[in-house]
Amino acid sequence: MIDYVAKGRMLIIWVVLVAAIVYLGAVPFLPVSSAFIFYMMFWITMASSFNIIYGFTGYLPFGYVAFYGLGTYVTAVFWSRLGFPIPAAILIAGGAGVLLSLIFAPTLRLRGIYFAIVNFSCAMALRILIANLPEKWAGGSFGITLSAAYKPRFSYYCMFILMIVTIFIVWKLSISRLGIALRCIRDDYEAAEAMGIDVSMCRLKAWMLAALIPSIAGGIEAWHTAIIDPDTSFSMMITTKSIVYAMFGGLGTITGPIVGAVFMYILDDLIWARFPILNLMVLGIFIVALVLFFPRGIVGSITRWKPTLRAVLA
Amino acid sequence: MALLEARGIDVSYYGDIIVLNDASIFIEEGQVTAIIGPNGAGKSTLLKALYGLLKPKKGEIFYRNENITGARTYELIGKGMAYIPQARSVFPDLTVEENLKLGAWIFKRDRSRVSHALEVVYKRFPVLASKRNDKAGMLSGGQQKMLEIGRGLITEPKVYLLDEPTATLAPIIAREIYSFVADLRDEGMTVVLVDQNIRQAFEMSDYIYVLELGTNKASGSRKDFAGGLKGIIQDWLDYDTV
């Protein structure tokens, strides 16, 4: 017997997906703020990529901003100082992020809070290093301006493509051997190792993947805002928001970070508009309430409440 | 010829906590070799070192005369080794069948090999076949242990390293597990058994190693130990009360 309910659900998902892609693709030509949508896609990308490392492996990289920050700087330096075209500079930024992840790789031996602390320290060290480089290289505390390269429509589409690629990677990962291995390692790495899973190699692959995406996202965002400086490129808010958005949606699921990023980004914006002075406090109260009432995130809570929806949501 | 052999290995945790100190073991093909000793003797550490989960600081390990010191676990599984850790190692959120398939990880995408191996395990453990779609966490303690044993057998190993297979199990279930081990022995499989239940381990095995504080204290065939076991255990008890 054909399961019409499941088929119907899949149809709805596909319609929503295609409609969302068509809408996002048309935004630069519509009378809506493309900067608003650009940042929504940026946060979906950041939260989804954060999900690769935290949701699939259990590592909490508190210095996640390091990859994004490095991405902004490598893009800006290669474009402004070395004369590379912006798309090439962004790709180089991705490579630099992977290189940085390899430099940080020995810290993967640490677990839990120790990993989080060391990773945070690494990010802070990188920030200080970049801020103290000679001004002619990295612009010092003034940063670097990219206004001559400013092409908001191009950078918008670059972010659009990166977001789709990131979601595709997370989906592919969730059904791949690597994804299965990573979840086993997260749940019981000794048992995983005993079954012949190459624990350190799997962790390293996830780590490199989770570094590549924010580095490219950083490069595209630098292009879009046309100005970077150490304070904004290495702001703790980048890490914090990636964590909160991904967790709020539901870690370890494909749709979780997307739902979380969209919902929280809009909520954040509404709170900014209504409470210009107390916005951070109100947002903080919201986050505490959400963690209390939806400890598994929105998608996590829905699939727990209705397990049959797991096939379409997770 | 020894199937598996460790020669004078030193193993330490965190660099300076020495657990094994010049330990040696010689495992004959087709026999059950028991490793016994008091708590902290390094029995589990020795199994982990043989299985490639820990790297010896000194000494060498051989499998069929091939030096496998420092070889990775997945390579050793490919050569015919299997291992069950002391702690519960099933993935509770995965089904019985998914757990078994994880045991066949090194087969990669060879589906026909995996499904054949699954059928072999189901034939040996019919209870697992009837619960193949149940979450492993829903099984009883004894069934979970069977799942672990079955998962190890899926790669058709030549040598099976069992670390305390009956710990935390009710005596009646433990007896069942021992009878599986006896079956494996009768089928000609080489088994290395670490057990706290000394009497049972003694009865099962052909050869016995006694470890104490990470070094070899005594070894011999079951016949060599006949009557002398009591003295060894008395030694440990005296040692513990010092």
Round the average pLDDT of chain B to a whole number and report it: 90
The answer to whether residue B13 neighbours chain A at the CB level (below 8 Å) is: no
The Cα of B231 is separated from the nearest Cα of chain A by a number of Å equal to: 36
What does the DSSP 8-state code read for residue A228? Answer: E
- Of A177, A193, A198, nearest to B53 by CB-CB distance is A193
Q: Which chain B residues are Cβ-neighbours of A179 within 8 angstroms?
A: none
Return residues 74-93 of B near A (CB < 8 Å): 74, 77-78, 83-85, 87, 89-91, 93
pLDDT tens readout for residues B153-181: 999 999 999 999 998 888 899 998 999 99
Q: Is the pLDDT of residue B241 over 70?
A: no
Q: Is the pLDDT of residue A1 over 70?
A: no
Say if residues B140 and B128 touch (Cβ distance below 8 Å). no
**Record: contact A184-B102, CB cut-off 8 A:** yes
Q: Which chain B residues are Cβ-neighbours of A184 within 8 angstroms?
A: 91, 102
Helices (H), A226-308: 230-233, 236-249, 255-274, 279-293, 297-305
Q: Which chain B residues are Cβ-neighbours of A198 within 8 angstroms?
A: 72, 74
The answer to whether residue B232 neighbours chain A at the CB level (below 8 Å) is: no
Q: Is the pLDDT of residue A266 over 80?
A: yes
The answer to whether residue B102 neighbours chain A at the CB level (below 8 Å) is: yes
pLDDT tens readout for residues B178-194: 999 999 999 999 999 99
Q: Is the pLDDT of residue A3 over 90?
A: no
pLDDT tens readout for residues A105-147: 999 999 889 999 999 999 999 999 999 999 999 998 889 999 9
pLDDT tens readout for residues A183-205: 999 999 899 999 999 999 999 99
Q: Which chain A residues are Cβ-neighbours of B89 within 8 angstroms?
A: 188, 190-191, 194
Contacts of B203 (CB under 8 A, 6+ apart): none
B218: pLDDT confidence band, cut at 50, 70 and 90?
Answer: confident
Q: Which chain A residues are Cβ-neighbours of B53 within 8 angstroms?
A: 190, 193-194
- Of A187, A190, A196, nearest to B106 by CB-CB distance is A196
- Rounded alpha-carbon distances, angstroms, from residue A114 to A121, B13, B110: 11, 19, 39
Question: Which of the given ranges, A94-103, B89-98, B217-226, has the highest pLDDT on average?
Answer: A94-103
pLDDT tens readout for residues B40-89: 899 999 999 999 999 999 999 999 999 999 999 999 999 999 999 998 89
The Cα of A5 is separated from the nearest Cα of chain B by a number of Å equal to: 23
Q: Is the pLDDT of residue B118 over 50?
A: yes
**Record: contact A188-B91, CB cut-off 8 A:** yes
B242: pLDDT confidence band, cut at 50, 70 and 90?
Answer: very low
Probe site for chain A from B48, B51, B73 (most A CB atoms < 10 A): B73
For chain A, how many residues are written?
314
Element (H, E) at A171: helix A152-175
Asked if the interface predicted TM-score (ipTM) of this complex is over 0.90, the answer is no
Q: Which chain B residues are Cβ-neighbours of A191 within 8 angstroms?
A: 85, 89-91
Domains annotated for chain B, with CATH where assigned, are 2-80+157-241 (3.40.50.300), 89-156 (no CATH)
Query: What are the sequence ranges of the domains in chain A?
Result: 1-32, 35-236
The sign one gets for the Cα dihedral B197, B201, B202, B208 is negative
State the Cα–Cα distance between residues A113 and A232, nearest whole angstrom: 25
Probe site for chain A from B47, B86, B89 (most A CB atoms < 10 A): B89
The answer to whether residue B151 neighbours chain A at the CB level (below 8 Å) is: yes
- Average pLDDT of the residues in B103-124: 91
> Which residues of A sit within 8 Å Cβ distance of B?
177, 180-181, 184, 187-188, 190-191, 193-198
**Record: contact B89-A193, CB cut-off 8 A:** no
Q: Which chain A residues are Cβ-neighbours of B107 within 8 angstroms?
A: none
pLDDT tens readout for residues A53-73: 998 988 999 999 999 999 999
The Cα of A61 is separated from the nearest Cα of chain B by a number of Å equal to: 24
- Average pLDDT of the residues in A80-93: 97
- Of A184, A191, A196, nearest to B77 by CB-CB distance is A196
**Record: contact B102-A195, CB cut-off 8 A:** yes
